[in-house]
Amino acid sequence: PDPRRDPASGALPPPVPPAGATAIQQAAAGGPTVSPSDLVAAEPPRAIVGDFVPDEVLVTVEGNAVQQIATSFGLEVRSQRRSQLLGATLVRFGVPDGRPVGVVLAQLAADGRTLRREPNHIYSLQQAATIVNYAFERIALDAKEASGENVRIAVIDTAIDDTNPALSGVIADQFDAMPEVPIAARDHGTSIDGLIAGVGALKGMAPGARIYHARAFEGGKSTMGVILAALDWAAEQDVRIINMSFVGPKNDLLGVACRNARALGIVLVAAAGNNGPKAPYGYPAAFDGVIAVTATDAKDGLMQQANRGAYVFLSAPGVEMVAPSGAGSDVVTGTSFAAAIVTGAIANLLHAAPDRSVDWVEKALAATARDLGPKGRDNDFGYGLLNIEAAEAAKE
């Protein structure tokens, strides 16, 4: 008989943690029960910028320690999956006891089993509520010759109305990153897909392109965890371009995913944002390697409510354009739709020469854009208005 066994209960005592063990190590070893509020933080509580889910954190973990981490820190495992773009297991932990997210992130930093720790930020679609599509003329793209035939494009947006005639034969596949949320709106995603590759009366910039559509928004909102799931699915479809017509705060997990998607040879296009000249930078547009698009009108004037900043890369039509919607068609305004115009235009470049790299695309668009503001790149228009005819003629 083991002399340590309790004669009454027959149970062995819990393992003894090493001398000087932290509260986290004691809890993990089955030692004294530690209140989560007493856990030692490895860094000061984080000041979190932007909206986020108040009782969740996103953590990347290597290995099989997810449940142990949850137990050690008084958290709930709400979801977990292996992320291709993050190269680790992405875990959505719930915080059931009301601790501030910034405190939980600081506490988790003390555990070497966690790789990255971020809030579950909230992102918003970039549509300004407000006639033939004037975009072809403004970006120097011949509507009769426009084609994105067989170019694979991912769109992360709302659900779509795939019965709209403009999307007939356009959608190659769909993925629902939030299946537990009922679908109420389909307009925004339908407009984006239609502007990129619509057919018939509402012809898009790149007819013939194959759209891989991920639903990740409802009520104009989504969370970082949902968006990352959509991005992973998009990367698995071997797409050449990803359109992200949404904006939110800076999040390191999103930055890593974008950087790794670009390393796979995917061109990333994002809306610069509709939150006004004094708004903070909008992400993912403001990450390096993402083409941030602002919106101009039929006279090449800047959309008044557009974000400004050094991250703005390119201008494209996005004010009062006719686009497909869940109800048939609508007049739309926003940097969301300007991003779709740029995505479709890039599909034309890749259709003409499939071997063109991400670097080539970015350099060609920057070098050939028509300057609209102060000489050179500026915070309002970026390099200027997209000129697809000139970009097509750029040297390889």
- So what CATH class is 28-120? alpha beta
| Average of per-residue pLDDT across 88-111 | 95
pLDDT confidence of residue 395: 72
Instruction: Record the tokens describing residue 211, joined without a space.
Output: 């759209």
| Average of per-residue pLDDT across 291-318 | 97
Q: What is the CA radius of gyration of the chain?
A: 24
pLDDT confidence of residue 111: 93
In sequence order, the 6+-apart residues with CB closer than 8 A to the CB of 108 are: 57, 59, 69, 73, 114, 117
pLDDT confidence of residue 36: 63
Please give the helix or strand (H or E) that residue 53 lies within, else none. strand 52-61
pLDDT confidence of residue 8: 58
The rounded percent of the chain whose pLDDT value lies above 90 is 80
CA 201, CA 212: separation in Å to the nearest integer?
Answer: 22
Superfamily of domain 126-392: Peptidase S8/S53 domain (3.40.50.200)
Say if strands 114-125 and 52-61 run parallel, antiparallel, or are unpaired: antiparallel
Half-sphere exposure of 8 (CA within 13 A, CB side): 1
Q: For the segment 227-264, what is each residue's pLDDT rounded down to a tens digit?
A: 999 999 999 999 999 999 999 999 999 999 999 999 99
Q: Which DSSP symbol is given to 47?
A: P
**Which pLDDT band holds residue 32 (cuts at 50, 70, 90)?**
very low
In sequence order, the 6+-apart residues with CB closer than 8 A to the CB of 166 are: 190, 194, 198, 199, 200, 201, 202, 204, 324, 329
CA 329, CA 234: separation in Å to the nearest integer?
Answer: 27
**Which pLDDT band holds residue 40 (cuts at 50, 70, 90)?**
low
CA 140, CA 306: separation in Å to the nearest integer?
Answer: 23
pLDDT confidence of residue 84: 95
In sequence order, the 6+-apart residues with CB closer than 8 A to the CB of 248 are: 50, 51, 121, 122, 123, 124, 224, 282, 283
| Average of per-residue pLDDT across 304-327 | 94
| Average of per-residue pLDDT across 292-312 | 96
The percent helix, strand, coil of the chain (3-state, each to 5) is: 25, 25, 50
Q: Which DSSP symbol is given to 309?
A: S
Q: For the segment 255-287, what is each residue's pLDDT rounded down to a tens digit?
A: 999 999 999 999 999 999 999 999 999 999 999
**Which pLDDT band holds residue 35 (cuts at 50, 70, 90)?**
low
Instruction: Record the tokens describing residue 16, joined without a space.
Output: 């003894």
Mean pLDDT of the chain: 90
pLDDT confidence of residue 125: 87
Q: State yes or no: pLDDT of 109 exceeds 60.
A: yes
Extended beta strands in 302-379, E state: 314-317, 321-325, 328-332
**Which pLDDT band holds residue 126 (cuts at 50, 70, 90)?**
confident
Q: For the segment 141-184, what is each residue's pLDDT rounded down to a tens digit?
A: 999 999 999 999 999 999 999 999 999 999 999 999 999 999 99
- Annotated domain spans of the chain: 28-120, 126-392
pTM: 0.82
